Amino acid sequence: MINKMFEETLIILKPDCLERNLEDRCLKRLEKLGEITLISKINVSANQIMAHYEDNLKDKPENIKYRVLNYFVNKEVIVILLRGENVIANTRKLIGASDPAKSPKGTIRGDWGIDSYSIADASDRSCYNIIHASDSEVNYIREKNLDRSGLEYENMPSFRGISS
């Protein structure tokens, strides 16, 4: 008997994804990896985003923190919990490298990314890379347990017609 490993991951469709109307395309690909057990559109607060990126930002200069805040705060994102077999690794493979310029075709960032770290640095802003996904079970648990005010926990088997 084969032991399948089912797990959950947290995914965030970032502001640039929503601004470019890529959410349906991304969600169609994500649905192939498992069951969407939560989907909610929220406006991000400074506290939420700083807590989410706390480990990444703790040793960064203030201008990097400002870039992240400017990218997210008071903008809409879609938060997703996805459950499936080896879903953390499979989702990371699907989304591609953090720098869209280094993501291969066939990945979300490789197919729809229009930014790069070098362009973002030259423009003194965060890189518009469409999507976030937990990179480990430990980070999934940490991210899932952050301030979730504004999230509506419900099963939504279909993502079409997401409303504000």
Q: What is the pLDDT of residue 159?
A: 42
Mean pLDDT for the chain overall? 88
Q: Which helix (H) or strand (E) holds 85?
A: strand 76-85
Q: Does 158 reside within a domain? A: no
Distance, in Å, from the CA atom of 77 to the CA atom of 64, rounded to the nearest integer, reads 20
Q: Does 149 reside within a domain? A: no
Residue holding tokens 């990126």? 53
Q: Does 161 reside within a domain? A: no
Tens-digit pLDDT profile for residues 70-104: 999 999 999 999 999 999 999 999 999 999 999 99
In the chain, the number of structural domains is: 1
Q: Are 65 and 126 within 8 A, CB to CB?
A: no
Share of the chain above pLDDT 90, in %: 68
Written as six digits, the tokens of 1 are: 């008997």
From the centroid of its chain, how far is CA 95?
9
Q: What is the pLDDT of residue 53?
A: 87
Report whether pLDDT(157) > 60.
no
Which residue among the candidates 10, 78, 132, 143 is catalytic per the annotation?
132
52 is known as an active-site residue:
no
Q: Tell me, what CATH number does 23's domain have?
A: 3.30.70.141
Q: Does 12 reside within a domain? A: yes
Q: Does 32 reside within a domain? A: yes
Give the range of the structural domain holding residue 101, as residue numbers without chain letter. 7-144
SS3 6: strand
